[in-house]
């Protein structure tokens, strides 16, 4: 027997020792980090000119909360003063509070776009009580990034890190002005690296305490580098609930560079609306696993339309890069130079195709027309799916630029599957719908034991149209 060896009973199994797993021996000390980073974090107050007849805004923190998380305008209280002399007078009143941080010693400041949105004046206050009027060089709503400039020199500033290298579980701190409590510090860890809460960028999720007023402040790693801009919270109460989100600093700097140069951000546009591909839809279309981006609307005359991309296509790749989730597509297209050519790989009716497309500049979305459903006749029976449908008029076809049938009523399997009156049905099981006669004929021949995939377009009350697949299942 070897010296030092241990005898084990017959049949005993040795448990493998964990390899390379670090053991946490204590909590981090943030004091030196905060001493160095704190002076570069600023408090941002905004003011606006209002007519005295409109009254003054409500409390600052609730204003910012309503604007950011509910999209509501600044609340107003009635004021009799504005009626003096019959002419309403203007008064400059405080509008909201937020945070920001200095990124250069000559006075460039990063914050959130929503912090300075609609402001007539922006005031930046440093920890040494110096206050400056700031000029808004530009703000980008899509990424929620804004760049300010104050006229000063030799200012303290923060270094930016590499947000692509952050790790889940890594310690981070937030410094800002929650509820106007300036230079307040909270700490936590990175909970997730790429949450799909925005169209054009994945956000960093943390459990760092962030509240109204923290917006625009830095998320800082243990090396003193900014890795994100605190931007949003997930909350039911208006306060911190353990989930906060930050704009990755890599994306924020790319946006800031464009804002500093031109005052706006240019992004590529494909000219489609897209949605997620569910497991049921993937199986119904013969795609296998759920992946890609489902094309729900093609902008007439846009880049995708000219390239031959159609509603119902599943975009699997962009320039050879796989599209695993629908959110991957706008980020890749948005970062593509305007006017450049790209290749879009689509799945259409069981076949994969490569389509060349020329990228255009992103524009604002336009409201879509919304046909009004008709009331079915009292003695009319629904088809086998439970749908009453009617034809579009020739004028509606031209306006909508599509063939489809209008859902007048939905019951039974269709209602359970989520089809609503007013929906347009564009395809059924990969077959384009031309009119109600053809649609009902297809439905009559369906196997009642199998699920059916309908491509449906639906308009919101605001006029925005989205197209998506609904899977209608037979009752088991």
pLDDT digits 0-9 by tens, 301-320: 899 999 999 988 999 999 99
pLDDT tens per residue, range 340-361:
999 999 999 888 999 999 998 8
User: Are 143 and 48 within one domain?
Assistant: yes
Total tally of structural domains belonging to the chain: 4
- Contact present, 184 and 176 (Cβ < 8 Å): yes
Number of C-alpha atoms within 13 angstroms, CB side, residue 211? Answer: 19
Spatial separation of the C-alpha atoms in residues 311 and 297, rounded to whole Å: 6
User: Are 49 and 141 within one domain?
Assistant: yes
Q: Which of 177, 215, 231, 284 is catalytic?
A: 215
**Predicted pLDDT of residue 373:** 86
Q: Which of 140, 144, 408, 423 is catalytic?
A: 144
Give the residue numbers spanning the domain of 286: 268-361
**Predicted pLDDT of residue 88:** 54
Spatial separation of the C-alpha atoms in residues 471 and 476, rounded to whole Å: 14
Spatial separation of the C-alpha atoms in residues 337 and 268, rounded to whole Å: 6
User: Are 133 and 188 within one domain?
Assistant: no
Q: How far apart are the first and last CA of the chain?
A: 68
User: Are 98 and 184 within one domain?
Assistant: no
112 annotated as belonging to a binding site for a ligand: no
- Contact present, 201 and 143 (Cβ < 8 Å): yes
User: Are 245 and 273 within one domain?
Assistant: no
pLDDT tens per residue, range 196-227:
765 567 889 999 999 888 999 999 999 999 99
The last residue of a domain, from among 127, 149, 171: 149
pLDDT of residue 259 exceeding 90, the answer is yes
- Contact present, 190 and 167 (Cβ < 8 Å): yes
Spatial separation of the C-alpha atoms in residues 265 and 141, rounded to whole Å: 10
User: Are 45 and 143 within one domain?
Assistant: yes
The last residue of a domain, from among 327, 361, 395: 361
User: Are 135 and 172 within one domain?
Assistant: no
Q: Between 96 and 30, whose confidence is greater?
A: 30
Kindly give the pairing relationship between strand 131-140 and strand 41-51: unpaired
Is 313 a domain residue? yes
Is 11 a domain residue? no
User: Are 240 and 163 within one domain?
Assistant: yes
Is 244 a domain residue? yes
DSSP letters along 266-312, please?
--EE--EEEEEPPHHHHHHTT--SS-SEEEEEE-TTSHHHHHT--TT
- Of 330, 324, 321, 309, the C-alpha closest to 267 is 330
Spatial separation of the C-alpha atoms in residues 256 and 254, rounded to whole Å: 6
Token output for 354: 């490569």
1: pLDDT confidence band, cut at 50, 70 and 90?
very low
Q: Which of 114, 296, 328, 408 is catalytic?
A: 114
Spatial separation of the C-alpha atoms in residues 334 and 326, rounded to whole Å: 13
**66-86 average pLDDT score:** 44
- Contact present, 457 and 404 (Cβ < 8 Å): yes
25: pLDDT confidence band, cut at 50, 70 and 90?
low
Is 5 a domain residue? no
The last residue of a domain, from among 326, 361, 396: 361
β-partners of residue 96 are: 46
Among residues of the chain, what percentage have pLDDT more than 90?
Answer: 42
144 annotated as belonging to a binding site for a ligand: yes
pLDDT tens per residue, range 129-158:
999 999 999 999 888 999 999 999 999 999
* 215 catalytically annotated: yes
440 annotated as belonging to a binding site for a ligand: no
Is 133 a domain residue? yes
pLDDT of residue 81 exceeding 50, the answer is no
Q: Phi and psi dihedrals of 10, rounded to 5?
A: -60, 135
Average pLDDT, the chain: 82
User: Are 279 and 222 within one domain?
Assistant: no
78: pLDDT confidence band, cut at 50, 70 and 90?
very low
User: Are 86 and 47 within one domain?
Assistant: yes
**165-173 average pLDDT score:** 94
Among positive and negative, which fits the CA dihedral 302, 305, 307, 312? positive
Is 272 a domain residue? yes
**Predicted pLDDT of residue 20:** 54
**Predicted pLDDT of residue 71:** 39
Is 382 a domain residue? no
- Of 109, 234, 128, the C-alpha closest to 183 is 128
114 annotated as belonging to a binding site for a ligand: yes
* 144 catalytically annotated: yes
**Listed ranges 1-15, 191-205, 329-343; the one with the highest mean pLDDT:** 329-343
pLDDT of residue 56 exceeding 50, the answer is no
- Contact present, 187 and 199 (Cβ < 8 Å): no
pLDDT of residue 365 exceeding 90, the answer is no
Is 15 a domain residue? no
User: Are 194 and 256 within one domain?
Assistant: yes
The CATH number covering residue 348 comes to 2.30.42.10
**Predicted pLDDT of residue 80:** 42
User: Are 163 and 78 within one domain?
Assistant: no
213 annotated as belonging to a binding site for a ligand: yes
* 114 catalytically annotated: yes
pLDDT of residue 22 exceeding 70, the answer is no
Cα–Cα separations (whole angstroms), residue 352 to 178, 453, 475:
51, 19, 33
90: pLDDT confidence band, cut at 50, 70 and 90?
low
pLDDT of residue 64 exceeding 80, the answer is no
**Predicted pLDDT of residue 93:** 58
The CATH number covering residue 72 comes to 2.40.10.10
């Amino acid at each position: 027997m070897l010296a030092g060896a241990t005898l084990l009973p017959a049949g005993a199994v040795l448990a493998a020792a964990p390899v390379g797993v670090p053991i946490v021996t204590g909590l981090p000390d943030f004091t030196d980090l905060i001493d160095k980073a704190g002076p570069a974090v600023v408090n941002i107050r905004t003011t606006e000119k209002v007519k005295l007849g409109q009254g003054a805004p409500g409390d600052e923190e609730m204003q910012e909360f309503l604007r950011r998380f509910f999209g509501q305008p600044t609340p107003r209280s009635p004021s009799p003063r504005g009626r003096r002399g019959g002419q309403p007078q203007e008064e400059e009143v405080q509008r909201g509070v937020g945070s920001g941080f200095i990124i250069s010693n000559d006075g460039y400041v990063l914050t959130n776009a929503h912090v300075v949105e609609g402001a007539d004046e922006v005031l930046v206050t440093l920890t040494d009580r110096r206050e400056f009027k700031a000029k808004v060089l530009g703000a980008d709503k899509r990424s929620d990034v804004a760049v300010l400039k104050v006229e000063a020199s030799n200012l303290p500033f923060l270094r930016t890190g590499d947000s692509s290298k952050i790790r889940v579980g890594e310690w981070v701190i937030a410094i800002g002005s929650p509820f106007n409590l300036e230079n307040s510090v909270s700490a936590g860890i990175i909970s997730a690296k790429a949450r799909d809460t925005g169209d054009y960028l994945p956000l960093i999720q943390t459990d760092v305490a962030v509240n109204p007023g923290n917006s625009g402040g830095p998320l800082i790693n243990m090396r003193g580098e900014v890795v994100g801009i605190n931007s949003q919270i997930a909350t039911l109460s208006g306060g911190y609930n353990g989930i906060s989100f930050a704009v990755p600093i890599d994306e924020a700097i790319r946006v800031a560079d464009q804002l500093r140069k031109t005052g706006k951000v240019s992004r590529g546009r494909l000219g489609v609306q897209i949605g997620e591909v569910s497991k049921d839809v993937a199986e119904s279309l013969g795609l296998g696993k759920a992946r890609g981006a489902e094309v729900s609307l093609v902008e007439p005359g846009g880049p995708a339309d000219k390239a031959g991309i159609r509603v119902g296509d599943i975009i699997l790749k962009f320039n050879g890069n796989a599209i695993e989730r629908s959110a991957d597509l706008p980020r890749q297209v948005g970062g593509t130079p305007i006017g450049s050519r790209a290749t879009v790989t689509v799945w259409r009716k069981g076949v994969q195709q490569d389509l060349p497309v020329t990228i255009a500049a992103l524009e604002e979305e336009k409201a879509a027309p919304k046909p009004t459903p008709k009331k079915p006749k009292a003695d009319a029976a629904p088809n086998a799916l439970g749908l009453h449908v009617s034809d579009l008029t020739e004028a509606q076809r031209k306006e909508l630029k599509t063939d489809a049938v209008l859902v007048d009523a939905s019951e039974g399997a269709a209602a359970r599957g989520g089809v609503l009156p007013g929906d347009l049905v564009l395809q059924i099981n990969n077959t384009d719908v031309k009119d109600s006669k053809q649609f009902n004929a297809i439905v009559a021949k369906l196997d009642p034991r199998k699920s059916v995939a309908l491509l449906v377009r639906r308009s919101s009350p605001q006029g925005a149209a989205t197209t998506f697949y609904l899977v209608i299942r037979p009752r088991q």
